[in-house]
Amino acid sequence: MVVSDYRIYGETGEWEVVIGLEVHAQITSNAKLFSGASTTFGAEPNTQVSLVDAAMPGMLPVPNAECVRQAVRTGMAIGAKINAWSRFDRKNYFYADLPQGYQISQLYHPIVGEGSITVLTDDKDEASAVTIGVERIHIEQDAGKLMHDQHPTMSFVDLNRSGVALMEIVSKPDMRSPAEAGAYVRKLRAILRYVGSCDGNMEEGSMRADVNVSVRRPGAELGTRTETKNVNSVRFVMAVIEHEARRQVELIEAGGAVAQETRLYDPDNNVTRTLRSKEDAHDYRYFPDPDLLPLELDDAFLQACRDSLPELPDAKRKRFESLGIGAYNASVLTDEVETARWFDSLLEAGAPPPQAANWVASELFGALNRMGKTLVDSPVTPHNAAELLKLVADGTISGSLAKQVFEIMLETGEGAARIVEERGLKQTSDTGEIDAIIDGILSANADKVQQYKDGKEALFGFFVGQTMKAMAGKANPGVVNERLRAKLV
Amino acid sequence: MFELTTKTIAELRDGFRGGEFSAREIAASFNDAVVAGRALNAWTVETPELALAAADVADAARGGGEMLPLSGIPLGIKDLFATEGVDSTAGSNILRGFKPPYESSVSGKLKAAGAGMLGKLNMDEFAMGSSNETSAYGPVISPWKRNDGGNTALTPGGSSGGSAAAVAAGMAPGVTGTDTGGSIRQPAAFVGISGIKPTYGRCSRWGIVAFASSLDQAGPMARTVLDCAILLENMCGFDAKDATSLDLPVPQWEAGLSSDLKGKRVGIPREYRIDGVPDEINAIWDHGIAWLKDAGAEIVEISLPHTRYALPTYYIIAPAEASSNLARYDGVRYGLREMGVKSLDDMYSATRAAGFGAEVKRRIMIGTYVLSAGYYDAYFTKAQKVRTLIKRDFTRAFEECDLILTPTAPSAAFGLGEKMSDPLAMYLNDVFAVPASLAGLPAMSVPGGLDSQGLPLGLHLIGRECDEQGVLNAGLAIEERAGFTARAEKWW
């Protein structure tokens, strides 16, 4: 555990920032939380709305078991207490995007209790690990969307999102710097994507954060916090914290006091603005939803949830490191679930782990970057990549030949062995053939041989290069080295 | 053809199947009676064409198809039930003209069982009321008159007042009602018919406009206990669209009817002897005790100690749920919209001020208050705890008895306007009915006799959870012995 030394330096001294995050994550599910309506993103307005979502008279919510399952699996993935008995409550307020006049949520008895997430603020350094407490995860309905740009005097309502299932993941106020908060959101996103409970797509609004910030003298009592709603990228979360902490320090140092209020972030101008003050805060009149029975989860359901969990990022990274992969590569290869899955397939296909990690992190990522592609649409399959790496490992081709073969693989999508075979790119260790080439090169460069023998040892590389060139790169570099040394004595 | 309208559902069913008369004749008779009874203001919508269409299907089926349980039977449907393509307004201006594109599960089951629909029945607005006077369509007038020679217009009770009046006046052989705190049983008692509220969860609430979700239950009202059993069988059943629906098979209540109560113990709760209740009410209760004893039951005194808290508890929980349930009537998507001067909040205020009546507003205010920060624990949490105690009272009582007998209401029907200025006096109407609602138990009102003014009085039976059969059987035993044949003299 490290203590963050992130500080705001004001006119009167140092200030520590205290951060808590409430992350809203859309649960991956074909249907909404309490209705059968579809959840596909980007559909025409009001085309994914059931009678329940529109709160027609007499309509009733029925819980979607898949959403419950995903919330439980998410809780298990952060080592949280799972509440076998939980309950839905109504949060009452009026707004045009809220057809029922209440949101079904879980205030009093959330489905998931305390857990934690460990984040590294420095990818290369295990010592930078910080454990962030998670207070709870509860399930709730999303609201619809208002469109203010469709008519000069009216607002339009799109209920496609109305009733979509969200998990609200509430952290403890355990973060002390924008970097920790950023790492927390990235790690949480990775876990959700590993588990498959949320696609983590912040641009489409599948994940967004309410950012709670307060400042205090280092180690002092907690200050008054503000909550900035609906921040939809890691970068913006960090920007909100930086901006809000500075604003609060300036306010306090000027003799003012921070008001407990809800704020909105304006990314165009990188400022936060008051949305509503504490005085305007709603009285949500929470009470148990009488349309729904308490959720009771039996042992078989919980066990099935547990059994269905995949290997999670931390465990995977440790396993990769135990295979001889460096800390940085292990981190890069486990950050994104698609990368981790691809790399696991590569290992399963027999690729040697450390070499495979280096190759993926440099060669493959470099090539994909150039091509504007990601691993998901990589022209090289894990199977073919493993073949290539094995050919290098067993000495069939040299590293430089491997680069050529890889380029051909990228273009054609063909297997490495076939390319090597068909194009005659196999490396040769035939000393007779290599000797003959070396002899020719040495006699054609007698002056340089003399200079080498006079002590200009740097010329050794020249002879190696000439030999390789003459053999079109197919000579085994080890054998070439060995034969050259023998002949140049 | 008016003689058909004096028949019970069982008689109509048998006569139709036996070829005595056609379904079309039945439907036409009741359609005529509906028109003839307009002075009672029992209907919000008349749908004679739907009654006839179902009758034609039934007649065709009798000619060679498969007969359904309710083939040939036309019914009235309380306006609280969503009926596809037919105005469904919960007796409220805020839903005036609302035609749902869906059919409630219960009315859908009745239609699937072959029943036709005569129309939608007037009711207290959002089922909030005990006299039908809160309806946006004006009060229903009871077919009954006092025998004092006066012409006072009486209430048929509420909230299912249109339902009660329709059956009592021979405008429908049977109807649906809903009961949140007595809304089937009290009107049934006021007009001398039978009505049963089944165990909470027996009837799906899907498509019934919600008043208080943890209490609302649909049920039938009809002339006889047998008719109630027939209808109830075709209204109940598990519905995956209602998370509180009971996933249990529906018993064959009609086939199980028996008025032999040998071996049954009937509990008489001493706390229901309430001060100020007229002697005639206690007298009819004593008659009921004697009839059940005559049917073979053993009478035992029981205690339901938290009875006195039932009404206050109900008037916290029901408004709390209602204040939230009625939030959806906001003018945004359907129903009334009054454009405000400048903001969305203005639109809400204007719409709800114009759309809701005084009683609904009162309950929304009470409900909002008891759920507010600072008051929640003192009111709502406390009421939930008392509700648990009331349930426990019944659990303990049912260790000593199989059924409980009480009066249905503390008085006979009163005159329209007599209690509208005093909400508390109005709420007292349901003092005997509310405890069973809070406990979710099956309960039924059957006619016991007439009081000295010539007005019907009801007897109230409460059963164990899911023991509708026991309730119906005891109801039948009373029906056979009470000999209640009185009918409102036709003045309309």
pTM: 0.91
What secondary structure letter does DSSP report for A213?
E
Tokens of A3: 């203590």
Q: What is the DSSP letter of A358?
A: H
Q: Report pLDDT for B451.
A: 97
Q: Which two tokens stand for residue A179?
A: 């970097």
Pairing of strands B43-46, A207-216: unpaired
B78 is catalytic: yes
φ, ψ for residue A387 (rounded to 5)?
A: -60, -45
> Is residue A86 scored above 70 in pLDDT?
yes
Contact A237, A21 (CB under 8 A): yes
- CB spacing of B100 vs A157 below 8 angstroms: no
Q: What is the pLDDT of residue A426?
A: 75
Q: What whole-number distance in Å separates Cα of residue A239 and Cα of residue A209?
A: 13
Contact residues, chain A, for B246 at CB < 8 Å: none
Average of per-residue pLDDT values in chain A: 92
* CB-nearest partner of B243 from A63, A100, A283: A63
Domain boundaries, chain A: 8-304, 311-422, 431-487
pLDDT number for residue A278: 75
Contact: B241, A62; criterion CB under 8 Å: yes
pLDDT in tens, chain B (492 residues): 458 999 999 999 999 999 999 999 999 999 999 999 999 999 999 999 999 999 999 999 998 877 999 999 999 999 999 999 999 999 999 999 999 999 999 999 999 999 999 999 999 999 999 999 999 999 999 999 999 988 999 999 999 999 999 999 999 999 999 999 999 999 999 999 999 999 999 999 999 999 999 999 999 999 999 999 999 999 999 999 999 999 999 999 999 999 999 999 999 999 999 888 899 999 999 999 999 999 999 999 999 999 999 999 999 999 999 999 999 999 999 999 998 778 899 999 999 999 999 999 999 999 999 999 999 999 999 999 999 999 999 999 999 999 999 999 999 999 999 998 888 888 988 999 999 999 999 999 999 999 999 999 999 999 999 999 999 999 999 999 999 999 999 999
Q: Do B324 and A102 touch (CB under 8 A)?
A: yes
Q: 10 Å Cβ neighbour count for A256?
A: 10
Task: For each of the domains in chain B, give its residue range(s) and CATH number, in order of start.
Answer: 2-258 (3.90.1300.10)
Output phi, psi for A303, to 5 deg. Answer: -65, -40
Instruction: Name the CATH architecture for the domain at A431-487.
Output: Orthogonal Bundle (1.10)
Single-letter amino acid, residue A240 = V
DSSP single-letter state for residue A166: E
Query: What DSSP letter does each residue of A378-421 carry, written as one string?
Result: -SS-HHHHHHHHHHHHTTSS-HHHHHHHHHHHHHH---HHHHHH
Contact B326, B359 (CB under 8 A): no
* pLDDT at A2 > cutoff 70: no
B375 at the A interface (CB within 8 A)? Answer: no
Residues β-bridged to residue B46? B119
* Per-residue three-class SS string for chain B: CHHHHHCCHHHHHHHHHCCCCCHHHHHHHHHHHHHHCHHHCCEEEECHHHHHHHHHHHHHHHCCCCCCCCCCCEEEEECCECECCECCCCCCHHHCCCCCCCCCHHHHHHHHCCCEEEEEECCCHHHCCCCCCCCCCCCCCCCCCCCCCCCCCECCCCCCHHHHHHHHCCCCCEEEEEECCCCCHHHHHHHCCEEEECCCCCCCCCCECCCCCCCCEEEEEECCHHHHHHHHHCCCCCCCCCCCCCCCCCCCHHHHCCCCCCCCEEEEEHHHCCCCCCHHHHHHHHHHHHHHHHCCCEEEEECCCCHHHHHHHHHHHHHHHHHHHHHHCCCCCCCCCCCCCCCHHHHHHHHHHHHCCHHHHHHHHHHHHHCCCCCHHHHHHHHHHHHHHHHHHHHHHCCCCCEEEEECCCCCCCECCCCCCCHHHHHHHHCCCHHHHHHCCCEEEEEEEECCCCCEEEEEEEECCCCHHHHHHHHHHHHHHHCCCCCCCCCC
Lowest average pLDDT, out of A119-128, A230-239, B41-50, B298-307, goes to A119-128
Distance from CA of A30 to the nearest CA of B (A): 18
Per the CB < 8 Å rule, is A57 touching B243? no
**8 Å CB contact of A102 and B90:** no
User: Are A44 and A110 within 8 A, CB to CB?
Assistant: no
DSSP structural state of residue A31: B
Tell which residue, A316, A296, A227, has the closest CA to residue A265. Answer: A227
B222 Cβ contact partners less than 8 Å away, ≥ 6 residues apart: B8, B9, B167, B173, B174, B175, B193, B194, B195, B228, B230, B231
Q: Does B345 reach chain A within 8 Å, measured CB to CB?
A: yes
- Alpha carbon dihedral B198, B199, B202, B204, in 10-degree steps, equals 90
Listed in sequence order, the DSSP H helices in A115-233 are: 178-195
Q: Phi/psi at B278 (nearest 5 deg)? A: -55, 150
The kind and range of the H/E element at A145 are strand A145-147
Taking 80 as the threshold, does the pLDDT of residue A117 lie above it?
A: yes
Q: Does the beta carbon of B342 lie under 8 angstroms from any beta carbon of chain A?
A: no
Report the C-alpha gap between B89 and B82 in whole angstroms: 8
Residue A4 scores a pLDDT above 80: no
* pLDDT on residue A468: 83
- Chain A hits for B212, CB-CB cut-off 8 Å, are 290
**Window from A3-7, A68-72, A365-369, B383-387 with minimum mean pLDDT:** A3-7
Residue of A nearest to B377 (CA): A287
Would residue B159 show up in a list of annotated catalytic residues for this protein?
A: yes
Residue type, A373: K
Q: Is B111 a catalytic residue?
A: no
Would you give the end-to-end CA distance of chain B in angstroms? 18
Three-state DSSP class for residue A57: coil
- Please name which of B137, B151, B227, B214 lies closest in space to residue B188, comparing C-alpha atoms: B227
Structural tokens at position B205? 């609430």
Residue A278 one-letter amino acid: K
Residues of A in contact with B209 (CB under 8 A): 57-58
The torsion defined by the Cα of A30, A34, A35 and A37, in degrees rounded to 10, comes to -30
- Are residues A75 and A115 in contact, defined by beta-carbon separation less than 8 angstroms? yes
Average of per-residue pLDDT across A67-92? 98
CA distance B414 to A77: 64
The yes-or-no verdict on residue A1 having pLDDT over 50 is no
- Per-residue pLDDT band for A480 (boundaries 50, 70, 90) equals confident
Give the C-alpha separation, B489 to B492, whole Å. Answer: 9
